[in-house]
Structures are given as C-alpha cells and as structure tokens.
Structure 1
C-alpha cells in the first residue's frame, strides 16, 4: 500500500476519531431550564387580506401560573380522551387539546415508570397544546368569534374514543353558532372539523386557524445529528427550524413576534418534533393555507400555525373546514400509513433521516422487516449486518485478495525499507515496481473502507432517531438497544456490590461494558489480517486504534456497538477465508506461515 493510500485511510479514520472525541469531551451544553412566565399567549387568525392577525395577548387567558400540571388540569371543565394509545382530556375552556399521554411508552425501563406525557395545559410546567379558532373579518370583532377563553359546551358525545366522536358548541349571542367536531383513530391522529352557522341577515367573513404552542424552550437531546423543533412540509419542500433558529426569524411588528410564513397551495403540514414524539397540524390535502412558524419573545412562546383562507358565509348558510392533528409517537409504520391513507405528502420525512436518507430509509425498512420476521431487534441488527456484508462481498473479495497479497509482500517491503533508508522517493519508486511485478493494486483495499463510513453513519442515525429501538431488548443484560451497555468492568460486571458510574460522567468513559470490550477485541483481530503500514508512526496509530475506538464507542448505543461487532466478526471471517482461497493460510492472529502458500497462478 503506497503512502498516498495509507494516508487517505489514516485521514479518514482519524477524522472519524476526532469527531467522536470532540463530542465526548465537549458535549453540547444542556439547555437552561425555562421558568413558566405569567404572560398571555399569542394567537393568530386565518389567511386572507381582510382578516388581520390577532395581536399578542388578545383574547388570552389572564390567569397566573398554577405551578403544577394537576392543578392546571383541575382549573377547567374537561372531556375525557381514551384510545388504545392515548389517554388524557380536552379543556372546554378554549376547546384546547392540552392533556395527552402515550399509553404504550414509559419514561424509563422501570416497571413503575410513568407513561410519557406529550401535551400539557397552560398554568403548569412545559405547557404544550393545540388550539383552534376563527379570526374575525369584515365587521366582526374578536369577541364575536371563539378563541382561547371561549367556554364551549358539549353538544354530543361523553368522551372522545375511536368509536365516539364529540362535538363542542358555542353561540356568540349575535346569531353565529360555532361547532367543533373531533374524532380520533386508534393510534395518534385526530380529525377536527370546525363549522360556523350564520343565522343573521347579513353575510359574515372569518377565517379558521389551528395552533400548536409550546411555552418556553423544551428540554432537548441537543445533539448535532438530530433535529428538534419546527418541521414542516410545504408542497413537497421540507423545512426544519430549531428552537434557537426561531428567534432569528424576521420580526413582524404587527404580531409582536418573529415570524416566517409560507403559502401552501394544496398539500402540507407543520408542527413540532422531538426525538421520538411529534405534534403536527395538517389541513386536508388539496386545501391551501398559510404555514406559520412563530416565536413570541415577550412571552417566550413557540408556535406553529395553519391559517386557512377566509370564509364568506351567507345568511342562513353554514361553512365548515376539516383539518388533522397528529399527536403521538413517530412510529415508522404508523406515519407511513397516514401518508398513504390520508394523502399527507412527505409525512414520513417528519422522521429525521439525515443527509444519507437514500441509505437510511432502505436500511431502516430492511431492519423493520427483519424485526417483523425475528421479533428481536438485536438479532435483526446482526442479520442486517450479514446482508449488508453479503451485498458488498464482490467488492470485498477483490479488496481482501489484494490485502492478502500485500500482507505476503511485507517481508519484501521491510527489505526495501532497509535498503532505501530515508530516501523516500527511491522507496516509492521501488515499491511501485514491486507492486507492478507482483500485480498488486494497493488502492483495492480502500473502497470497502470508504463504503463502510456512510453505511455506519446511516445505521447510527437509524438506531439513534427511530423509536422502534427505544427500550428494545436483545439478550440478558441488554434491555435497551438505544442506550449504552449498562454493564461495567469497574464493578466486575455486577459481581461487586456497587453501581457503575452514571452515563455522562468522566468515569463512564472508562467504565467499559461487555459489548465495548468485545468490540475492541474483534477490531484488533480483524486488523491483524491487514498489512501493517511501513511507517512506524502510522503503524503505532493503527495498532492503538481498536482500543481507542473501544473506549470511544463504549458510551454509544448498544445497537450500534452490536452492529460494529457483527461487522468486525463477519469481516474477519470473510477476509480469512478469502486469504485461504488464494493460497495464504493465516493463523487467527493473521500471521502467514512460510512454506505453505500455494503456488501463485496467473489469476492470483
């Protein structure tokens, strides 16, 4: 292997290593804890020139923070929500959807762990809710349309379930009757139909809207490969804005907020995404609307909005509009079904597939299908690795055959080094002559290494962001493939009566579990089959690399470490048998015994 190719491999490996070291030694700062502020919420009206946005604070709840979620829930009359996947309630004050928990997901692996809370009411910590209403146009005033303080009554239904929708009703006292019918499926999608009946003698103009609001910046994973914040699709164009970026949006004095508005012609959605959860507004496909991302700095409120076109309602007529609200877990199959069945364009892209989406999507699809077949994500990762290695086998065959020839030439390389001394130019010339004579291509071993890099990052992305690996067990002590190996060499893997260091601490880096140790050994053995660099510095770096990676990857998700172990073991087996097929008989440490190599033919 010439210096150029060795340097390319070395630079690739070191670049990856630098990234790992940087984010382990200098992790992103934890976001500051946001305190709930006694401020009113901002809300916005619908699209249309005659309908002005609602100024911040107008028609908003004046109540001071109530401090606890339970007290905030008790502060208003409520309608129960109960499905196989969701539990919670809807506040009749404003008709807010502000109390939802995910019944199938728990905060931790503990049996008594509480289920995950998604939406929470105003007044408690981390207020996060969906709100619907109408913006006035023409001669109407804000008190003529329903808003955040409107006290709705239940017209039909006793609780919201997949089999029983509910309808809320409010009359403005001036001849307009507003209704809101909410239905829900057995997963995470609600259908919200807003209607207005005009019993007056004059036509009225008004515009429906939907809002998803978060009070204060939420706690986030805050990791560079993951997007958290606004995610929206606008006629096929995906946009992501993190929470910090919302404060940099263009100032809109009329709304006293930082705002970005996109006009959507016929298909789009907008909302907030977390690592595993999402709340998204989606007008019915074919419906034009304005997609709004907004930050209200005075109130520290983050909002996404759908502002629908102005409706002109004649005397005695009724106007209605249907929209969807997704509030739940970002399950791949569930979101894919909504994209197909409801026609929500690009809804599957709400999952953060990353730059290598062209690899990440098919890799996850294959992993999903293998899991459906095997019923265990750990074994599915191993089988996925085997399939990937089988696909790359034609390239690997030429690569490993070339490496075998290179390894056989190691004694000749050492002689060249002794003969040329410090004359690098002469060394390079004689090496190239030796390669030409022996018909060896030193660059042949680089391609599989380069191909592994995007595949590795794609699988890392899959394991990191997809909810299907959250709390997914493998065997024995590995109960969560999305978390690091919980065992520790410090307490002799549980034999000593004390707990290992907490994740994130300095000691956690040296607190190696079983999987990271196996990773280091497998990488070392696999490396022994490769020809060693002639340069002493490069040789030393390559020799230390398995053990450095063992510590660096020890804090990574168990699923990723499992993939790398499987990859190393399969690579070792492939390379070993390919070397034997070409007449080289290495032992388990890669040493080729002299005198037993088959005669080289023209083909080999």
Structure 2
C-alpha cells in the first residue's frame, strides 16, 4: 500500500481543508521541529484546540439531552405498540417536538458539530499520509537524493529491484517521475538506505548525509520508522496500538460521566460502541503506519485532557440558563423572519391540547360508529316479526326499502 503520497489530496471539501492543515504542519516544521512524530503531536494539539468551541457546543447539547431524555422516553413508552396507528404516531411526534421546543433545541442540535468535524478529521489523515506533499522541508531532503539517483544510467531497473527486495510497492510507481521516487524513498528504512548506497557507490556521501537527516525526521524513539505498520508480530512498535486502545478507552470514560438510562433509545448501542472502539483502535493501529498510530494516541490523549476541563466547565453551567439562552436565540431568528416568539410553556400546552383534541375526535368517531351499528340492529329488531311467515319477510323487505328511502 502507498502510505506516503507526494500528490496533495484533491478530494472535494477534504482537499482544501487538508491544504489549510498542511500549512499548520509546515509552520510547525519551520519553527524548528524537524521530527515528524513531534510535528504530528503538536499538530494534533493545535487542531483539537481549534475544534474546542465545537466540542463544547456538542457537550452542551449532550447535557440538555440527558435532561430531555426521560421526558422523550416517557412519551415513546406512552405510544409503545401503536406504530401502525397513524394518528397515535402523529401525536407522539407533536409531543416530542414540543419537548425539544421547550428546551430551545432540535433533534439535530448535536449533529452539526459532528458533521463539521468529520471532514476535518479526514483531512487530518490526508496530511499525515502525505507529509512530503505538505511539508516542503521533508521533500527537499528526499529530493537531494532523488535528483542524482535519476541521473545514473539504468537506475530504473536497479530501483525496481531494490523496491521488490524490500517488499515495497512497484506496480503503480513510474520511476521516471521525481515525485514518485520521493514517495518511494519516503518509505525507506535504514536497511533500504544502506542497500541504496551499495547500488550507487559514487553517491554514498550524498545518500548518507540525507538519509541520516530523513531517518532522524521519520523515526520514533530513534528506531521505529513512522511509515511502517507494526503488524501482527512481537516488536517494540506494538506499544503504539496498545497505547491507542488504552487512551481511547480512557477518553470514552472521561466523556461518559453522566448516568444513562439503560432503557433509553440507543443506550445499548452506545454501550457497545464504548467497548468496540478501543478494540478497533488497537486493530487499526496495528495495520496502519506508526505515524497514524501516533496521531491516534495523541488525539485521544488531547481529547481526554480537554474533556476533563470541559467536565469541570459543564458542572458550572445551569441547565435553566442554557434553556433560556437557547429560546432567546431562537426567538431572535424568528423575529428576523417576522414570526411570533416561542413560549416554552405555551408550546407544551398547545401540544397537549392538540393531543387531547385528536383523542377526543377519535373517541367521538368510534362512538358514532358504535351508535350507528346499535341503531341499525334496533331498527330491524323492533320492526321484525316472526320471520317464519311470508308476511313477516315481506314486512322486512318493506322496512329495508323505507330506511333506504329516508337516506
């Protein structure tokens, strides 16, 4: 697999965001942080701080949701088993919507922050996968070797053989393109660089000088190559996926501090996700390059530390104040549209009144149908005689015709 690609991402939305994040990464490098692992850690801290306002908004919605959920669960329980009853479902939706309006929010109130964060997260991965494309200083070090190597006779066959012996991808790499050569050299470990010196002995000094720089940039604890995946084998690199799983678990624990109703919708799925996510983190970081694993560990650690601070901040926020602020914000938007302001209590009352009217209407319709059936039975019962005679049968037909004639 190609994990470091010199070409920048051009994916819709994600590409431009990755370019902006790439400027941050290059800025960190230009400040003198010439180790990619250290750049990734600082990069992760900065990006999470940028996303902090969105995270706080999401936490506020979660706090409101914890208060709303018992009311919503009670409404859903009230209409349980009536999914086929259209009128009942309409009443349920009205009552649930009234609860959201009462608290000045919407069912999608917590989704916007998540939706905004997703493209940023995907763009982060692109920058880390393609670091030479976004950090010109790293590309320059590799180009110092690529340029003289490409001037050597028969270099393509020699490089292809070197890539094959080191189990590096060769099928889709055009070694006549400098950027592709940079991609390839970006995956080299110490052994591969030594082989390259043996293949081109006249370039030993150039290769040694620049490979030492690159290995220093692209290693963790002086030995782990950031472009290599730990794999399912015993090695020091396995500390990265283990830390990824542990920090993910601690991050989840710090986020889920409020007690949850086990009968609440989605509670079971959330509990399963809290267990599955740390396990998936371990598996992903075993399969992905160590550089991605470092980002995963750093991101979970930063979120955990930030969450501890957010938890203290949220304890000081009064739910009533949040509701008041939400309703005031909604009313300002409604005022601009020329709509009347929302009154939370009035909204609840109107929803309840609408439910009562709908229930009364249904009850009256059922009573009317029942009464009509009784009247019809009584009509024939009172006017019928002994049905065994021809006269009584004739009378029954006459009664039926009279009744039809009255309609």
Q: Given the two structures, how large is their TM-score scaled by the length of structure 1? A: 0.33
Higher relative contact order, chain-length normalized (CA < 8 Å, sep 6+): 2
| Greater helix share, structure number | 2
Q: Given the two structures, how large is their TM-score scaled by the length of structure 2? A: 0.46
